[in-house]
Amino acid sequence: MEWKLELILFVLLSVMAVFSAIMMVTRRSPINSAIFLIINFFASAGIYLLLQAQFIAVIQVLVYMGAIMVLVIFVIMLLNLQDESKLSEQFSYKKLTSLLLSVLLFCLLGFSVFFGFSGKFTSISGEAEKLGTAESLGKELVLAYSVPFEIAGLLLLAAVVGAVVLAKKSFD
């Protein structure tokens, strides 16, 4: 029963994620795009929850939906962005090729992943449930994964410096 509920939830959330992703890319108004992005993040957070990764789900909601998206919408509002103008709407072989290539790639990867993993997974173990908590995640990060954790810190520092360099109005 519970398994069935999970399945239904998963299908629902996945459809939501894919649909919102497509909508986000195709909308012409930035605000609409941003809203679909929020929906997309929300759906992902739901999938994390289904995977027993409570902490990441919460962080996803807090950081991405809460902080980043607010910032994005602020920027859009402040800059008063116009709707994307029509660049080239006419049908071209280039577009068709790109579409075909994307579909082909999707099929290939989907096919290989589906048949590659089919029958290899068991239901979620109790251990996984424990791992999803903030406590165990924190322990792992600080003990076993401290090196990548530190490096990620440096990476963020580099990115911040870079962003400042590119965005600063003038030097000196």
Partner 1 sequence: MSDLFYLVTLLPLLGFLVNGLLGKKINNEKITGIIGSLMVFIPFLIASVTFFQLLSFNPEERSIFVNYFSWITAGNLEINYAFLIDPLSMVMVLVITGIGFLIHVYSIGYMHGDPGFAKFFAYLNLFIFAMLHLVLADNFLLIFLGWEGVGLCSYLLIGFWYQHKFTGEAAKKAFVMNRIGDVGFMIAMFIIFANFGTLKISEFLPQLEGYPLNDGLLIAIGLLFFLGATGKSAQIPLYTWLPDAMAGPTPVSALIHAATMVTAGIYLVARTSLLYALTPVTTQTIFIIGIVTSLLAGTIAIKQNDIKKVLAYSTVSQLGFMFIALGVFAYHVAVFHLVTHAFFKALMFLGSGSVIHGMKDEQDIRYMGGLKRKMKITFITFLIGTLAISGIPPLSGFWSKDEILYKVMSNAGTVYYIIVLISAAITAFYMFRLVSLTFYGKARYNEEKIHPHESSVMTIPLIILAVLSAIGGFIGMPHFLGVPNVFEEWLAPVFSKSYSVFESFQPSVEHSVSFEIILILISVIVASVVSWYAFKKFSKQETFEEESGFGKVLENKYYVDEVYDTVVVEPIKNVSDKFLWNIFDVKIIDGVINGIANYFSKLSFDWRKLQTGIVQDYTAISVAGVIAIILYLLLK
Partner 2 sequence: MIQLHELQFIIPLITICVASVLVLIVEVFSRNREVVFAVTTLSVFVALIITIRDISYSTIILNNFININNVSSGFNIVVLLSVLLSLLESRSYLIKKQINFGEYYAIILFSLIGMMLMVMANDLLIVFLGLEMMSICFYILAGFMRKRIKSNESALKYFLLGAFMTGFLLYGITLIYGVSGTTNLMVLFSNTLLHQEPLFLIGVGLFLIGFLFKIGAFPFHMWVPDVYDGAPTIVSGFMSTAGKIAAVATIFPIILKLNILDYRIIISVVSVLTMMFGNIIALAQTNIKRLLAYSSIASAGYLLVGLAAFNDMALRGILFYTLAYSFMQLGAFIVVGIIEKSSSDNKDFSNISLDSYKGLAKRNPVLATIFTLFLFSLAGIPPFAGFWGKYYLFVAAIKANLIWLSIVAILLSVIGIYYYLKVIVYMWFTDPETDETYIMSPLGTTAIILSIAGTIFFGLFPEIFFELIRFY
H-run or E-run covering 112: helix 93-117
DSSP, collapsed to helix, strand or coil, labels residue 92 as coil
Interface positions with partner 2 (CB under 8 A):
109, 112-113, 116-117, 143-148, 151-152, 154-155, 157-159, 161-162, 164-166, 171-172
DSSP, collapsed to helix, strand or coil, labels residue 133 as coil
Tell me whether residue 127 is exposed, middle or buried, using C-beta atoms within 10 angstroms of its C-beta: 0 to 12, 13 to 18, 19 or more.
exposed
Nearest distance from residue 99's CB to partner 2, in Å?
16
Nearest distance from residue 1's CB to partner 2, in Å?
28
DSSP, collapsed to helix, strand or coil, labels residue 119 as coil
Q: Can you tell me which of 63, 71, 104, 155 binds partner 1, judged by CB under 8 A?
A: 104
Q: Can you tell me which of 62, 77, 109, 128 binds partner 1, judged by CB under 8 A?
A: 109
Whether the Cβ atoms of residue 20 and residue 37 lie closer than 8 Å to each other: yes
Nearest distance from residue 166's CB to partner 1, in Å?
18
106 interface partner picked from partner 2, partner 1, none, CB below 5 to 8 A per type: none
From the centroid of its chain, how far is CA 71?
17
102 interface partner picked from partner 2, partner 1, none, CB below 5 to 8 A per type: partner 1
94 vs 169, beta carbon nearer partner 1: 94
Nearest distance from residue 170's CB to partner 2, in Å?
9
Position 101 contacts partner 1 (CB under 8 A): yes
Distance CA(150)–CA(159), nearest Å, equals 14
Whether the Cβ atoms of residue 28 and residue 83 lie closer than 8 Å to each other: yes
Q: Which residue has the tokens 């424990």?
A: 130
Residues that bind partner 1 (CB under 8 A): 94, 97-98, 101-102, 104-105, 108-109, 111-112
